[in-house]
Amino acid sequence: MDKNKILSWINYNELKELHEYLKKQNVVDIADFLDELDDSSLAIFFRVLEKEEAANVFSYLDNDARKRLIKTFNNTEIVKVMNELYSDDAVDFLSEMPANLVTQLLDKVDENVRKDINHLLKYKDDTAGSIMTVEFIEFTKEMTVVQALAKIKRVGIDSETVYTCYVVENRRLIGIVSAKSLMLSDSDVLIKDIMKEEFIYAYTGDDKEDIAKKMKKYDLIALPVLDVENCIVGIVTFDDAIDVLTEETTEDMQKMAAIVASDKPYLSTSVWEHARSRIVWLLILMFSATLTGSIISRYEHAFEVMPILVSFIPMLMDTGGNCGSQSSTLVIRGLAIDEIKFGDFFKVVFKEFKISIIVGVVLGIANGIRILILNRNPYLAFVIAVSLVVTVMISKFVGCALPIVAKKLKMDPAIMASPLITTIVDTVAIIVYFTVASHVFHL
């Protein structure tokens, strides 16, 4: 997008040129570009777009840009855009707006749009219902291919996708037809002869992450969503599925870093919201870590006699934490992308057991040698090496087992990640270390 050119068109009121230019641009790029305009240019710019294009651009705007637009637009103008939006985008927009604005807007939109939106707004967040759209194409099984193509020509422009169409009998979904098979079939073939009666579908109450995973697994462009009576009420398209997958991964990563998950972008989250979402876990983990501290206090006599023991505490704690978080990360991710299932519990634990022996021994020997050279104290080298091996083995066990167990208990495995594991492993590492040291040095 050529910012100078656009600004000059706006300044000199050469809106026809702008209109022609924008018609050739990608709506996603136009949406991106809006961030660079001030409020008054933004309003002019947006008014120049054609009705349908405007709705399309609107669906790609982030919340900040939408709020800016709403400030400069009157409700009638917004309603015009809303009438053109796909129902899932309209719902997505409304769910972020203040309740009184939602009521005002809904009062003014077209009757059937209002009906669709009100229907969709009923579905809970995180369900298939909340991300589906109601603009899809229905056939009957007695239609011919040429009739079906004619129907697409008639209603296709308002459908979010025409690439999968749905065959319905008494409102029940009985088959699906891909545009590919329509295009490859002869005109007089009946829909019932090319429709697929075995198809993948979801229910409105299904978890949206499961839906997205299903669409990824089966490489679907769109997935039909049914109500309890097996009537088709909407579809989820692949672009929304990709967004859900990305969002869920981001939330997983946040949980794994001891942050209360949020789907709001980093930069548009306020300082207070950020602080709030981080403090909870920090407090819990901080007070758990004082447990490790109180265990250390029990060995005060040990490091009064041998102060050098204290200097190995960070290395042992960090290595334990790192080993545990390696295992937990791999297992949490494996569970998230369905590469690991609960049935693999013993396979995973046994694998981690073998890995931890190799890793533990290598680290133990490396550090033992280092201490032997630097401190010339074979007993100390032995204590550290043994503590390392045991710590690594316990860390890897805790790291791989807890997420799988959490999943089985219908908890979120992502919580069993590095911060929590580290806190647990720290305590273990300290106990192992001082126990071994006490025995070897008769403290």
Q: How many Cβ atoms from other residues are within 10 Å of residue 365's Cβ?
A: 14
Q: State the residue for tokens 């022996």.
A: 357
* Residues from 41 through 100 that contact a copy of itself (CB under 8 A): none
Which of 39, 40, 67, 184 binds a copy of itself (CB under 8 A)? It is 184
Q: Is 369 in the site for a copy of itself (CB under 8 A)?
A: no
Residue 197: CB minimum distance to a copy of itself, A: 8
* Residues from 382 through 421 that contact a copy of itself (CB under 8 A): 418-419
Residue 104: CB minimum distance to a copy of itself, A: 30
Q: Is 441 in the site for a copy of itself (CB under 8 A)?
A: no
Instruction: Quote the CA–CA distance of 85 and 279 in Å, as a whole number.
Output: 39
Residue 43 or 235 having the CB closest to a copy of itself? 235
Which of 13, 228, 297, 410 binds a copy of itself (CB under 8 A)? It is 297
Q: How many Cβ atoms from other residues are within 10 Å of residue 118's Cβ?
A: 11
Residue 78 or 143 having the CB closest to a copy of itself? 143
Q: Is 347 in the site for a copy of itself (CB under 8 A)?
A: yes
Residue 198 or 229 having the CB closest to a copy of itself? 198
Which of 330, 386, 390, 401 binds a copy of itself (CB under 8 A)? It is 330
* Residues from 98 through 117 that contact a copy of itself (CB under 8 A): none
Residue 394: CB minimum distance to a copy of itself, A: 15
Nearest to 261 by CA among 65, 88, 415: 415
* Residues from 114 through 153 that contact a copy of itself (CB under 8 A): 149, 152-153
Which of 13, 307, 376, 410 binds a copy of itself (CB under 8 A)? It is 307
Which of 163, 203, 345, 441 binds a copy of itself (CB under 8 A)? It is 163
Residue 103: CB minimum distance to a copy of itself, A: 31
DSSP string, 261-289: ---S-TTTS-HHHHHHHHHHHHHHHHHHH
Residue 73 or 281 having the CB closest to a copy of itself? 281
* Residues from 276 through 295 that contact a copy of itself (CB under 8 A): 278-279, 281-283, 285-287, 289-290, 292-294
* Residues 6+ away with beta carbon under 8 Å from 84: 51, 52, 54, 55
* DSSP designation for 196: B
Instruction: Quote the CA–CA distance of 136 and 120 in Å, as a whole number.
Output: 15
Of how many residues is the chain composed?
443
- Rounded to the nearest 5 degrees, what angle is found at the Cα of 263, between the Cα atoms of 55 and 161? 35
Residue 127 CA: distances (Å) to CA of 82, 92, 96, 209: 23, 13, 17, 8
| Stretch of 42-50, 108-116, 120-128, 298-306 contacting a copy of itself, by CB under 8 A | 298-306
Residue 78 or 371 having the CB closest to a copy of itself? 371
Question: Could you tell me how far CA 48 lies from the centroid of its own chain?
Answer: 35
Radius of gyration over every alpha carbon of the chain, rounded to an integer in angstroms: 30
Identify whether the C-beta of residue 427 lies closer than 8 Å to the C-beta of residue 295: yes
Residue 4 or 290 having the CB closest to a copy of itself? 290
Residue 83 or 250 having the CB closest to a copy of itself? 250
Nearest to 55 by CA among 111, 133, 128: 133
Identify whether the C-beta of residue 202 lies closer than 8 Å to the C-beta of residue 215: no
Instruction: Quote the CA–CA distance of 246 and 325 in Å, as a whole number.
Output: 22
Exposure string over 9-26, b if 16+ CB within 10 A, otherwise e? bbeeeeeeebeebbeebe
Total number of residues binding a copy of itself (CB under 8 A)? 106
Identify whether the C-beta of residue 148 lies closer than 8 Å to the C-beta of residue 182: yes
Residue 437: CB minimum distance to a copy of itself, A: 14
Exposure string over 83-92, b if 16+ CB within 10 A, otherwise e? bbbbbbbbbb
Residue 236: CB minimum distance to a copy of itself, A: 13
Q: Is 180 in the site for a copy of itself (CB under 8 A)?
A: yes
Which of 76, 99, 170, 271 binds a copy of itself (CB under 8 A)? It is 271
Which of 130, 387, 391, 423 binds a copy of itself (CB under 8 A)? It is 423
Instruction: Quote the CA–CA distance of 13 and 1 in Å, as a whole number.
Output: 18
Which of 171, 217, 408, 439 binds a copy of itself (CB under 8 A)? It is 217
Residue 436: CB minimum distance to a copy of itself, A: 17
Q: Is 224 in the site for a copy of itself (CB under 8 A)?
A: no
Which of 422, 428, 431, 434 binds a copy of itself (CB under 8 A)? It is 422
Residue 334: CB minimum distance to a copy of itself, A: 4
Residue 76: CB minimum distance to a copy of itself, A: 29
Q: Kindly list the strands in the beta sheet with 222-226, ordered across the sheet, starting from the edge strand earlier in the chain.
A: 202-203, 222-226, 232-237
